[in-house]
Every structure is written in structure tokens, then in C-alpha cells.
A and B are shown apart, each in its own frame.
Chain A
Amino acid sequence: MTGTFELGWWGVLLAIVAGAIRVSTPYLLVSLGETLTEKSGRVNLGLEGTLVLGAMSAFATCYLTSSPWLGMLAAGLAGSALGLLHAAICNLPRVNDIAVGIALFIFGIGLAFFLGKPFIEPRAAMLPGLPLGNWSANPAIRSAFDVSPMFFFGLVLAIALEWGLKNTRWGLILRIAGESADAARAIGLSVHRVRTLATMAGGFLSGLGGGFLSLYYPGNWNEGLSSGQGLMAIALVIFARWSPIRCFYASLLFGGTAAIGPAVQTVGITEGYYLFYAAPYVLTLGLLIYSSSPTRTLAGAPSELSISR
């Protein structure tokens, strides 16, 4: 980032804001997806695998067709395929959804690394960004405000979901399945079908989050691409109390904390780089400790959810 030096500490702040916007997008997409799934009464802990497989699918498709948008579609479809697998196994009686999630985590990552081996070297076309920083002559500011349309997609989706969950028939069906499977059955809903669709939708969004990683930021494909965003997004959903709009704020907060380390590095502070790297995890844990209670379940948690009981 040339131009950061002349900005000094303002540059650090700028880097954190820019980082927050950039880093938060995969958190946002995955956490919105997981919110949908958990609202229906299931936990999909395998979204890290979904994210990585999505990243690989997006990159490979984009490399082969040179269309980043087709790549994003492939990422979403790969994600919903894993979601379908999760739902199909969890629909069997007496199967623990958390354990299936861990299995899919391993499976998804294995599949992504296996199929993605040939795509580690080449470069592919990237998703375009929206140049919102053109008013400034400073290249650091220009690059900081080069925002991906996926960020705005996530923002709009968060608002739409927040509204839709409360005010639409689909939102109501989803919430009934998550609050009481018996009640849902009593009014003739198929709980399995609702949860299957919700898990597939969650997988689709997580796949998109992966596609963002490989096609926008950091914008390549390798085996160290994801540093656990898919797993942290699950903690983030709990932190956001299953509210899509709070997922948006939480994602920004997570993105911002994740950006502190690289940002202070630009002004020459390298001490404790790895500790800054742990900041979002420590933050999540701290917030969980603060907001949990041994005597009652978390406010806002769907009652059918195994992690909140």
C-alpha cells in the first residue's frame, strides 16, 4: 500500500476500516447462511469445509470459463450440495448434527484440496470491485475504498433477511421449524424439508463466502486460503443472537479486529503480530463468556437448536 506512510496513524485507521469492509464479507455471507440454517433448528458446523470447497469451485470455474460470476455461481452450488448432504444425513433419526458438521468439515476440505490441486499455480480473472475512492488522489485511500459488490450484496441480504424472517410466510415457517418441531408438524409442515432447504441455502451463502476469498480478497487459491472464517462465523451467529442485521455489525467488528494486525504492521509495528491475529477469536470467546448464563439459554436462540439447549 503506497501512500500509507504519508497518512501515518490515519493510515492505520484507514487500513482497519478498509480491512473491516474487505475481511468482513466472507464472515457476513457465512454467518447469514448459518443464521438461516440455525433458525430452522439445525447447526451446520461444517461451513469451514463448505467455504473452502466454495473457494476452490469458484477459482477453478473462473479459471476454466474466465467468468468470475460463473465462478461465484459454482461456489454457491457446491456449497448447497454439501448443505444437502448435511441435511440428508441429519434427517435420519438419532444422528447428531454437530458431529455430521465436523465430518463435513473434514470431507469438504479434503475434497477441495484434492480437486483443487491443479489450480494452485495459475491465475484467474478476479471479481471487479466498485471504485468508491476515486475522489481522492491518494492511492492508499483509493485502494481502501475499492469495495466488492459482494459486500453490498451481503448488506442488502442482511436487511432483507431481518425483515423477511419477521414479516413473511417463509420466515414464519422457518422459525416454527426452529422453535418447535412438534408445532410445525401439527400444522402440517414437513420439518425435514424446511431444514433441508434452510441448510442448502446456508451452504449456498457459505459457498459464496468462499468464492469471495478466492476471487476477490485475498484473491487466489491455495491450501492456506481460509484461516477458519467458516468456523468463526458460527460463533459469530451466536454472538449476533441469530439476528441477520446484528450479523452484519458483528462481521464488521470481526473484520476490523482481524485487520488490526496487518494495519499496525504498515507503520512498522511487527511486535505481537500473531497475537493480533488471535484477536477475533479472543473477542468471540470473551463475548460468549459475557453473554452466556449457566441457568438460562441464550436469548433469541431457536429452541430446537442443540447448541443452545
Chain B
Amino acid sequence: MVASSDGASLREPDPRSKQDRGLPVDALESLLLSLLAIVAAALLFGVFLALQGHDALAVYRTLYLGAFGTRFSLESTLTQAAPLLLTALCTLIPARVGLLVIGAEGAVVLGGLGAALAGVALSGAPDGIGTVLTIAAGALAGGLWIGAAGALKHFRGVNETISTLLLNYIAIALLNHLVSGPIRDFSQTLKAQSWSIPKNFMIGNIPGYSVHWGLLIGLVVCVAVHLVLRHTTLGFAMDILGGNRRAAQMTGLPIGRLILLACCLGGACAGLAGAIEIVAVHGAASESLVVGLGYAGILVAFLARQNPLAVVLVALVLGGISASGGLLQRRFDIPHAATTVLQGLIFLTVLASGTFRGRLLPRREAR
């Protein structure tokens, strides 16, 4: 698919080429389109709720309250958003070279497994070093996992969307196998989980808030990815490859290396998300890693139109929607799945809105 027009439609038009026009029309248009799409989705969801006999306005008020209304809900939103910042990058970075990777779910699992195993193996190491190595092991595991899909794509031509999809299921089966026997902590009788990492490897909350440090790590990684993609020759080379494979070939870019690198980096981000789930929340690998963080990340990446800075904003909105699910259930007796319906609707309208790109705002003729 690399060479196809589909690769191009995964990406935004390169902003660099438009800078000389003075106004970032494309950026403005993207923002406007996303907002319109979200409004459309909200209207559709409102109709859906009304058909079910709910007061849509009251539901939206509660949704806002549950997401951003109080300090508690805001902290819960931020906690939900933290892993999405990283899992979104697993789709976003490969999309820059024209690949559609949907394997973040599996990379999160592998990252969590890697971190849990490394943490257990390293017990006795000094606090800081142990934590860093534990997290790094998770990122490495995730990077190799998606990197494998990149290698299959480059060397064997295996479609990366299908292979990463299959890898998700293989990762989950591997996790279930390991925590139900080989690495199971049999002293935990309530739940099948792995041995726990040492307590002193755990990263706590940001002082004064009940939000763990993973949020900050996610933010830093998003900004770093933005800088690399936007301001380095590597990022430029990736954009060329994603935009036009033949041009990349003509220029003599190392296509295989770029594909592998993009996949490894993306996978490492998702692996990092899994590792943070271990060192900040669970302390051990278990089925709690498989809660759809990866699939939500795909949604975030597309909603952010493959822009790492926009990911931050989108992750907050989607984190908010997830965070308010519980409140909706309690107040209106609306099933928790309502938030999934809303997310699906937003995804659909955002994709549909892509058709208006380049046609919504008037612009000067290109020179």
C-alpha cells in the first residue's frame, strides 16, 4: 500500500509547502473540519439518545461534568488520556511513511509483559535505574513487535494492517498463556497475574495530583515526535516516502530502513504505554492490559489527522468521554457502551469530513 494513493490519504498535506502563502489555511481547515465533524457526531448521538428516550441535553451536561466538571473528573480524564497519547503514536508514526498500522493493542500487551518481566528480573537494582530499565524494556518489546510487522512488510510484502491485526490476537494469547502458568504469581488467588515488580520501581503520582507521571511522559514523547517529524531530515525523508514512494526511490532514500524505523518507533511508543500501565498502575502483567487502549489510539491518531500535537488535544477529549462513562451509567442508566458508540460516530464523521479537505476554505491559486 505504500505506493498507493491510500498512503497519501492517511496523511495531511505537507504544511511546509504552504508556508509561503502566509496563512496556514490547511491547518485552519483541518481544525474547522474536525470541529464540524465532532458537532455532527454529537448531533447524531443526541438523536440516538432521544430515540432511546433520554434527554440528550442533560446527558451532554453530565458528560461534560464527568469529563471536565470537577477536579476529580478532570484528574480521571487525564489518567484516561495518558496512555492514549502514546498508543496514538503507534498508528501516527507509521502513517507518516504511508503505512496503516493497527497493532497498538498488541504492542501495549508486549510492552506490559516486557516491563513486568524486566522489573522482576532486575529486583535489587537501585530505584531509579530499575525503573528506567523496566520502562525501557517495555518500549523495546513493543518496538520489536511492531518492527516485526514492518520487516514483514518490507521484506515479504505482507500487508501491515492485516499482520498487525493478527499480532494483536497473538499478543493477547501469549499474555493469557504466560500469566495463567509460566509466570503466574500463585499467591494471588483472585486473578491470574504475573509476579509483581518491586514496589520501589513503581512511579507514583505527580505530587499534589492524583494523576501518575505517565501523563507527563506521554506529553514529552508527543512533543519530541512532533519535533523529529517536523524539524529533522529524518522526518522530512519519512514525509517524502509517505507522500510518494517513487519520488523517495528516485532520491535514493533508504526506504526499508525508514519503514522499519517508523514501525519500531511507533511500536516503542505503544510499548511504553504498556510499561507505564505496569509501573504506574498495575505493578504486574494481567488481562487489565487488554482494555482497548490500542484501538482507542487508532481513533485518536485519525481524529488528530496524524499530527502529534493535535494528539494531545484529541486524547483529552476522548479520555474525557471514557471518564464520564461511569457517571452516565449511574445517572441515566445508560450502558457504558454508549461512550463506544459516540467514539465510533466521531470516527465516522471525521473520516467522512476528510472529503471536504481542500474545498472548505477559499485559497489563493498555488504558484
Q: Chain A residues in contact with chain B, CB under 8 A?
A: 45, 49, 85, 89, 92-96, 98-100, 102-114, 117, 228, 231-232, 234-235, 238, 271-275, 277-278, 281-282, 284-285, 288-289, 292-296, 306-309
| Chain B residues touching A, majority SS | helix
Instruction: Assess the A96–B10 pair: CB atoms within 8 A.
Output: yes
Complex Cα distance, B154 from A18, in Å, reads: 39
Verify A278–B161 contact, CB threshold 8 A: no
- The proximity string for B residues 331-367 relative to A, scoring 1 for CB distances below 8 Å and 0 otherwise, is 0001111111111110110011011010000000000
Contact A228–B351 (Cβ < 8 Å)? no
Given B166, B174, B177, B354, which contacts A285 in the complex, CB threshold below 8 Å? B166
Choose among B165, B338, B347 the residue that contacts A103 (Cβ–Cβ < 8 A): B347
Rounded to whole angstroms, the CA-CA distance of A110 and B3 in the bound complex is 34
Q: Which residues of chain B are near A293, meaning CB under 8 Å?
A: 156-157
> B357 — nearest CB in chain A belongs to which residue?
A94
Tell me if B6 and A96 are in contact (CB < 8 A): yes
Interface of A is mostly: helix
The stretch that binds A, out of B222-230, B232-240, B295-303, is B295-303
5 of the cross-chain contacts (CB-CB < 8 Å) are A96-B9, A110-B339, A281-B173, A288-B162, A289-B156
Extra 9 A-B pairs, beta carbons < 8 Å, given A103-B347, A107-B344, A271-B181: A95-B351, A100-B348, A104-B344, A107-B348, A113-B340, A232-B166, A285-B167, A292-B159, A306-B4
CB < 8 Å: which of B100, B167, B299, B357 contacts A98? B100
- Enumerate chain B residues within 8 angstroms of A106, measured Cβ to Cβ: 295, 299, 340, 343-344, 347
Chain B residue contacts of A234, Cβ below 8 A:
162, 165
Contact of B158 with A99 in the complex, beta carbons under 8 Å: no
B209 adjacent to chain A (CB < 8 Å): no
Q: Which residue of chain A has its CB nearest to the CB of B298?
A: A102
Give Cα A238 to B157, complex, Å.
13
**Does residue B180 face the partner (Cβ distance < 8 Å to A)?**
yes
Determine whether the beta carbon of A103 is less than 8 Å from that of B348: yes
Q: How far is the CA of A112 from the CA of B337 in the complex (A)?
A: 8
Annotate B267-303 by CB proximity to A: 1 below 8 A, 0 otherwise.
Answer: 0000000000000000000000000000100110010
State the Cβ distance, B259 to closest chain A Cβ, in Å: 11
**What are the 5 tightest A-B residue pairs by CB atom distance, in nearest-first order?**
A107-B344, A110-B340, A278-B173, A113-B337, A103-B347
Q: Which residues of A contact B6 (CB under 8 A)?
A: 96, 98, 306, 309
Residues of A close to B102: CB separation below 8 A: 102
Minimal beta-carbon separation of B49 from chain A (angstroms): 10
A288 vs B342: C-alpha distance when bound (angstroms): 35
Chain B residue, CB-CB nearest to A307: B159
Q: In the complex the two chains form, what is the Cα distance from A103 to B296 in whole Å?
A: 10
What's the nearest-Cβ distance from chain A to residue B88, in Å? 13
A-contact bits for B146-180, CB 8 A (1 contact / 0 none): 00000010111111011101110110011011001
Contact A275 B157 (CB under 8 A): no
The answer to whether B1 has its CB under 8 Å from any CB of chain A is yes
